[in-house]
A and B are shown apart, each in its own frame.
Chain A
Amino acid sequence: MSSSTNTSTHHTSTIGAIGTPSRRNTELALLVFAVLIPVFAYANVGLAINDEVPAGLLSYGLGLGLLAGVAHLVVRKFAPYADPLMLPLATLLNGLGLVAIWRLDQSALLREINVAGGKATNQLLYTAMGIALFAVVMVFLKDHRVLQRYTYISMVGALILLLLPLVPGLGLDVFGARIWIQIGSFTIQPGEFAKIALAVFFAGYLMVKRDALALASRRFMGLYLPRGRDLGPILVVWAMSILILVFETDLGTSLLFFGMFIIMLYVATERTSWIVFGLLMSAVGAVGVASFESHIQQRIDAWLDPMREYTLSQQGVAGHSEQAMQALWAFGSGGTLGTGWGQGHSELIRFAANSDFILATFGEELGLAGVMALLLLYGLIVERGVRTALAARDPFGKLLAIGLSGAFALQVFVVAGGVMGLIPLTGMTMPFLAYGGSSVIANWALIGVLIRISDTARRPAPAPAPNPDAEMTQVVRP
């Protein structure tokens, strides 16, 4: 449809973006798969567990299809040149997450301890809210550069969001980590939203300061050492991360924000020295905090010896959890091809089986093959985000896109690595897969911003102003 309207009629190109096809039909075709695959998976779960096609198949399929359709139409109307892969990838992950949550809803054990039961319906509602926010971003954020105006407001917003869990009466202590707030019967993880706000702030700030940070430095042993006063911002962000680690005792959130800042700082300044500084500072911070914060120490002990942690929890020693070992067993029992939907026993993970640990359900029921496919889907989203950053024409867009993609990649790494026992466990969730409103809504907003940037980046550039040099660089096509 729309592809016919934008094929290049110019026979000259001085900028690569000219004539980029919109790829909206590609996106639509991919979306059909992204909806059909979860629908088949859903039917599969019902057949495996109850020997019948689940009664909700039609409404579920229509619901997901409708949401995907709305998202697609909004993109087609308001961001016609957007990257065609991101929406289908997010839809597929979101749909598979819904299937896994519904599958865990079928577990009597999890219903008994109130972890599961009707959660898939909630998640579908959250998804609808996520898509709504996505649409709002598409409709009202005509140009991502508008966000640049809100650099410092974003900073304040991010700080407030990050501090909310520490407010007495509002914050919620879940197994030692204070990253939740409770309003009425709703629990919200403000860190998920802070992620986006911080990326906006960092992008706006670094765009302005990058020249100063990059150029005013001395060379020492092959590294460019920043001036003392330029160290200010990185120290502030570092201190903030340390404070999160100490007061919210959440390694993941802390690592995520600091990592995101380092990535953006490196991209903005092109100075490797910042990475070296960042790594040194995070090492110092992590070791320093771990030396006195027992919750962090315990997470590290559980990571080093999950079997001991399991034994302690079985003996009823307070503060220990069998989850890490149960997750490893779930992965191992899945093996190469998995048990098939509905035939595993990942409910043994109990608490957070459908949120933080949802990847273990995929590991057990879809096996190595399924988890590798999921990881590649995440990898694709991240690399499409980086591609958007490369294609973006303005530094703010580049920085924002790489910040969001980098944070997304770090989050996937920290959560999947934690659940698979590669690094200590943290209290974050797999984007789109895991049960939880904050995560789903925030990540749809994140994808919305990335799609908006990609639309601007891929949009045909305004025709170059006629100037004599243009003639010299024309490429004449036969």
Chain B
Amino acid sequence: MNKPLRRIAIFCGLLVLTLLIRDNWLQYVQADQLKDDPKNRRVAIARYATPRGDIIVDGKAITGHATTEGDFKYKRTYKDGAMWAPVTGFVSQAYGANQLESIEDGILTGDDDRLFFRNTLDMITGEPKEGGNVVTTLNAAAQKAAYEGLAAQGGKGAVAAIEPSTGKILALASYPSYDPSTIAGSSTSDEEAWKKLQKNENPDDPMLNRALREVYPPGSTFKVVTAAAALENGLYTDADSKTNSPLPWTMPGTTTELENEGNIPCKDATLRVALQYSCNTVFGKIGSDLGNDKMLEEAKKFGFTEEQFTPVRSSASVFSDDMNQSQTALSSIGQFNTAATPLQMAMVASAVANDGELMKPYMVDELQAPNLDPVEKTEPEPMSRPLSAKNAQILQSMMETVVSDGTGQNAQINGVTVGGKTGTAQHGVDNSENPYAWFLSYAKTDEGSPVAVAVVVEDEDAVRDDISGGGLAAPIAKSVMEAVIDSKR
């Protein structure tokens, strides 16, 4: 019987060998794939096993961490969460992450490849893994002014403020907002809070980042872009010569007369006067004279039609490329299809204030290792030149007239030169809904321009006549500019 016994011995050996091979396949060949499978809960357990790094504004953390029950050890907390939500986004044990929390997740959790050497050292020395920090460009005082201004107004709205010389984003507010702390965990209260924030439960959509992700018809504020196009294309060469602007003016190819708001001196008005009184006829005709292509070209130089990555993505602002003359005329006064994010309009103001050069907007100044060593530093980067310096100065003087003598007088600041433009954009079927009140502006001191800002307020409850960019939006812009100037002193 020994011959079959020896064969059985070999058979048993083969059984064990098969298991060994399978084990090698599982724990060596497929190990990493299984280990990093996002559905493998260990990935999430490891992610929440150490405190997350912080997001820093003006040298202070606007985030923190707290311990939680269960196998996830830490969760994110936020200070003034609702105010900072458009900057931070959220990170939740149950619902993942978005915006800055998601984009810089590697640094914040400490898993970024650039921290690999340090992590390896920590592993050898037995130190626990730590996350790095994200230092933002934001200005706490400006953010506070923006958010509180919107909150005082009570309607939906957004503010974006940029430092024109660098492109640093100084304020990014959206209202109504939400506190991401309430959804950071994975408990039932987090689940309830999450449900209440969803758009189908909450028509105000508080999780929408209006400063970056909502496009609004910019209304008359777009006339700044149209004026820039007129100057750049040589249609008009200075602010104070008469333009060729009949009144009334019938749009080419139609029998419709383009209306102005009230009885204002728009016939053959100079560019300065036209901007000061916000003449639809003058800027509509400029758009119509230049044509779709040239208007689009100028709008693109200001950043229209492209998504911006700050690094948080902003929606692409819209200026169409297939319009006839009358549609181009309407688009050139910020109506028809034209639509812009608040960030986009802040970029328009910032390019004018920076003598025609548009800097790429960004909100992450530096990524830090857990020991605060810099890992990556963002340098200011020119994006385009929508205007020559000379034309930019012409446009500045026009915008400054708007604030000193025109529709934007609410934004005047003592001892500071302010240029701006109001806007009131109609929307809804037959303009049935309340218009958006816009204001974009910049401040200028002896050291150049410290801030350009765009404010939009959509107030459904306000009386329609009360809404004008100068009335609702300009005071918010003013307080944001003041906050920036004060913090520079």
Contact = CB atoms under 8 A, between A and B. Distances in A.
Is A bound to B?
Answer: yes
B230 to A, nearest CB: 60
Contacts of A389: 5
A460 interface: no
A390 B6 contact: yes
A345 B45 contact: yes
Contacts of B5: 267, 386, 389-390, 398, 402
B462 interface: no
A52 B6 CA distance: 49
Interface string A390-410: 100001001100100110011
B20 interface: yes
Contact of B23 (A329, A345, A387, A420): A420
Contacts of B6: 390
A332 B28 CA distance: 8
A38 interface: no
B19 A420 contact: yes
Contacts of A348: 41-42
B19 to A, nearest CB: 5
A336 B18 contact: no
B1 to A, nearest CB: 5
Residue picked from B2, B27, B39, most chain A C-beta under 10 Å:
B27
A406 B7 CA distance: 12
Contact of A310 (B11, B13, B16, B39): B39
B31 interface: yes
B28 A329 contact: no
Contacts of A328: 26, 34
Contacts of A332: 26-27, 30-35, 37, 40
Interface in B305-350: none
B3 A270 contact: yes
Interface string B161-202: 000000000000000000000000000000000000000000
B27 A345 contact: no
A331 B23 CA distance: 8
B8 A402 contact: yes
A422 B22 contact: yes
A315 B5 CA distance: 50
Contact of B71 (A263, A334, A345, A406): A345
Contact of B4 (A270, A383, A387, A413): A270
B23 A371 contact: yes
B1 A409 contact: no
Interface residues of B, number: 36
A15 to B, nearest CB: 15
B15 A345 contact: no
Contacts of A302: none
Contacts of A387: 9
A102 B31 CA distance: 26
Interface in B121-137: none
A413 B19 contact: yes
Residue picked from B15, B22, B45, B71, most chain A C-beta under 10 Å:
B15
A334 B45 contact: no
Nearest to B12: A409
Contacts of B34: 328-329, 331-333
Contacts of B445: none
A402 B15 CA distance: 15
A379 B13 contact: yes
Given A331-B27, A416-B19, A417-B22, A390 B2 contact: yes
Interface in A403-430: 405-406, 409-410, 412-413, 416-417, 420-422
Residue picked from B8, B19, B22, B24, most chain A C-beta under 10 Å:
B19
A333 B32 CA distance: 7
Contact of B42 (A329, A379, A399, A412): A329
A333 B16 contact: no
B13 A383 contact: yes
B346 to A, nearest CB: 44
A238 interface: no
A329 B32 CA distance: 10
A367 interface: yes
A9 B115 CA distance: 71
A363 interface: yes
Nearest to B6: A390
B42 A345 contact: yes
Interface in B247-275: none
A336 B28 contact: yes
A333 B45 CA distance: 12
A406 B8 contact: yes
Given A267-B5, A329-B37, A376 B16 contact: yes
A405 B12 contact: yes
A325 B78 CA distance: 36
23 contacts: A267-B8, A270-B3, A310-B39, A328-B34, A329-B41, A331-B23, A332-B30, A333-B34, A345-B45, A368-B31, A376-B16, A379-B16, A382-B12, A383-B9, A383-B12, A387-B9, A390-B2, A390-B6, A412-B19, A413-B19, A420-B23, A420-B26, A422-B19
The 4 closest A-B pairs by CB, nearest first: A332-B34, A368-B27, A379-B16, A386-B9
Interface of B: 1-9, 11-13, 15-16, 18-20, 22-24, 26-28, 30-35, 37, 39-42, 45, 71
